[in-house]
Chain A
Amino acid sequence: MSFVLGVIVGLGLALLIAVPFLKSRFHNRARNLEKAASERTNDAIARFENQSLLIRTALDSLTVGVVVASAKGEVLFRNRVASGMTGALHADVLVDEAVDVHLRGALSGEHRRQVIELFGPPSRVVLVAAYPIEEGGALATIEDITERSRLDAVRTDFVANISHELKTPVGALAVLAEALADETEPEVIRRLSSKMVEESIRAGRTIDDLLELSRIELGGEAIKEAIAVGLVIAEAVDRVRTLADRRGVVLRVLEPGERLKVLGDRRQIVSALGNLVENAVKYSESGKLVEVSASTDGLSVDMRVRDEGMGIPSRDLDRIFERFYRVDRARSRETGGTGLGLAIVRHVANNHGGDVLVSSIEGEGSTFTLRIPAAPGLTVASSLSEAG
């Protein structure tokens, strides 16, 4: 009995001692767990913050505007571009308005797209698109497509022009051939067939120029060598001499010094300069002068073609280097050009890291300057050679 009592008392005592001990151990354990848990949470929060910062920075550095809206239509996020891309407050307001409208549309499950043309200034074309997000809410993107739509317009123009330029002579050929088939008069036959030759040459030249242009545009294989400017000028002028004689235009070449050399592709440069001289001759009246000269500042060589023709209106000066651009459409058939000449010249200049400049006074004439980098070390002595 007393034994049992002793055991109970002993157990009781043991418990009395053990409980606080165990309790403090549990406490420690729990505290440790808590600490670990909170550390983990902090880690997770820090990681999350890092990540969201990263995503935010990434979205901010996009060139496309991004706006995210919740299912209720509140805007949750707006990246930097989306908070002002057009450079004008009123244009931004209009873009925002479109974004709002389309986000609402997207929230009801539609995919929306709208191209907004803003007259600015600066004038802009902006594409606003909105989509529903699967988890609820909607996303809108804002994209500046000004450059893209400009290129599209140029391309459309180009296709329309090329179709026209090729169709005209081909159409003429068809009509002439039809007339020829029923003709018995030898004189008329001769006239018709010579017309046919003319028209086929015209179509052929357009195609040649197009091929030349696309070859120059592709660039790449241009061989850069030192070429004497005198030879380039002589070759370019030779091509046009017959035309000049026929039109009674006086061609004058101010021979540059032998040592004046440019670095480039001979064929391309001759073709470019040839185009300039040809234009000058075509747009000059009989008895007028076309003068070709060259000079250098040591870094590049300027080849100049000056004419005393009708000149170019100042509003057209920016556009004449576009393909098929004509200052006077009515005259384009008369002069027989393909409308590609100056586009070729510009591409040649660009390919060589050079430039083509034009100055013109209406009624007094124009001067075109083809600027090509000089060949190294060969030019200094020849800068005074223009007088020769």
Chain B
Amino acid sequence: MSRFAAEKLAELRVEALQLGARIVESIPRTTNILLEQDLEGAEYQILSDDEFDARTLDLEENSIVLMALQAPVATDLRRALVIMKLSAELERTADLVANLCKVSRRIHGQILDERLQVLIRVMGDHSRQQMQVAVEAYANEDAALAASVRTLDERLDDLQRKFIQTIFECSADSSLELSVAIQMAITARFYERIGDHAVNIADLVEFLVTGSKPPSRPRLLDGPTPTPAGGQ
């Protein structure tokens, strides 16, 4: 690959990393927005999603242009491919984060049961950690680190099940309105989805480093527990 192309690819990599870092940072921020019912923060986060989307689209397009015009091969080709797919994952994750902010608008003024607050905090922290590890694995092109993301995801899935169960418990003590219960159920789902995107990113990193696709996940067959609200 020409020097020009190599520089171009390095630039795209930095951009991908910056977007990844932004996502990692936005997760704890959003958890805080949810718990503190910070409407202003939510508004800001939702508005910044448009800019983020534009950046991911640019990144995707630039990686396609690079592949088309510079015809990279081997690792460089995988790098360009991964950037293309990564941008889509990041874009979806950013949407989930924005959705969580919208939840915070809908539950505004409601006092959440302490059990639910704890679970939101734990799930938020867990999905943040998962995304952080995935982005770090991408930054260092570290396949071993990437492989650890899937282990983390199992815990996040357990947490989601626990979350749903707690929603039922709270509802049974009648300390939870139906509308809030629905919002809580999709909150758990959103966090769980963020974790799934982290796993996808980690898979991309494994592909980037090893050149082979990681084995498909049997976990997806049993699927997450259906929510009483029927999911999102």
A91 to B21, CA, bound (A): 7
Q: A residues within 8 A CB of B136?
A: 89-90
* A86-137 interface (Cβ within 8 A of B): 88-91, 93-94, 97, 118-121, 123
For A313, the closest partner residue in chain B by CB is B114
Asked if residues B28 and A121 are in contact (CB atoms below 8 Å), the reply is yes
Q: A residues within 8 A CB of B22?
A: 94
Q: Is B135 an interface residue (CB 8 A)?
A: yes
Contact mask B155-189 → A, CB, 8 Å, 1/0?
00000000000000000000000000000000000
Q: B residues within 8 A CB of A91?
A: 21, 25
A121 to B28, CA, bound (A): 8
Q: B36: shortest Cβ distance to chain A, in Å?
A: 12
A189 to B18, CA, bound (A): 70
Q: A residues within 8 A CB of B21?
A: 89-91, 93-94, 97
Asked if residues A90 and B28 are in contact (CB atoms below 8 Å), the reply is no
A93 to B24, CA, bound (A): 11
Q: Is B32 an interface residue (CB 8 A)?
A: yes
A137 to B178, CA, bound (A): 60
Contact mask A157-179 → B, CB, 8 Å, 1/0?
00000000000000000000000
A90 to B130, CA, bound (A): 12
Q: Is B92 an interface residue (CB 8 A)?
A: no
Contact of B139 among A89, A97, A121 (CB under 8 A): A89
A91 to B23, CA, bound (A): 11
Q: A residues within 8 A CB of B132?
A: 88-90
Asked if residues A120 and B28 are in contact (CB atoms below 8 Å), the reply is yes
For B125, the closest partner residue in chain A by CB is A121
Contact mask B88-118 → A, CB, 8 Å, 1/0?
0000000000000000000000000000000
- Given contacts A93-B18, A97-B18, whether A118 and B139 have CB atoms under 8 Å apart is no
For A95, the closest partner residue in chain B by CB is B21
Q: B182: shortest Cβ distance to chain A, in Å?
A: 27
A149 to B132, CA, bound (A): 25
Q: A residues within 8 A CB of B135?
A: 89-90
Q: B138: shortest Cβ distance to chain A, in Å?
A: 10
Q: Is B195 an interface residue (CB 8 A)?
A: no
Q: B residues within 8 A CB of A118?
A: 25
Q: Is B72 an interface residue (CB 8 A)?
A: no
For B136, the closest partner residue in chain A by CB is A89
* B1-53 interface (Cβ within 8 A of A): 17-18, 20-22, 24-25, 28-29, 32
Q: B residues within 8 A CB of A90?
A: 20-21, 24-25, 132, 135-136
A118 to B28, CA, bound (A): 9
Q: A residues within 8 A CB of B17?
A: 93
Asked if residues A94 and B18 are in contact (CB atoms below 8 Å), the reply is yes
Q: A residues within 8 A CB of B29?
A: 119
For A94, the closest partner residue in chain B by CB is B21
For B28, the closest partner residue in chain A by CB is A119
For B15, the closest partner residue in chain A by CB is A97
For B117, the closest partner residue in chain A by CB is A315
Q: B residues within 8 A CB of A120?
A: 28
A321 to B10, CA, bound (A): 51
Q: A residues within 8 A CB of B18?
A: 93-94, 97
Q: A residues within 8 A CB of B139?
A: 89, 93
Q: A85: shortest Cβ distance to chain B, in Å?
A: 14
A88 to B132, CA, bound (A): 9
Some 7 contacts from A to B, beta carbons below 8 A apart, are A89-B136, A90-B20, A90-B21, A90-B135, A93-B139, A94-B21, A97-B21
Question: Lowest 3 A-B CB distances belong to which pairs?
Answer: A90-B21, A119-B28, A93-B21
Which residues from chain A sit less than 8 Å from chain B, CB to CB?
Answer: 88-91, 93-94, 97, 118-121, 123
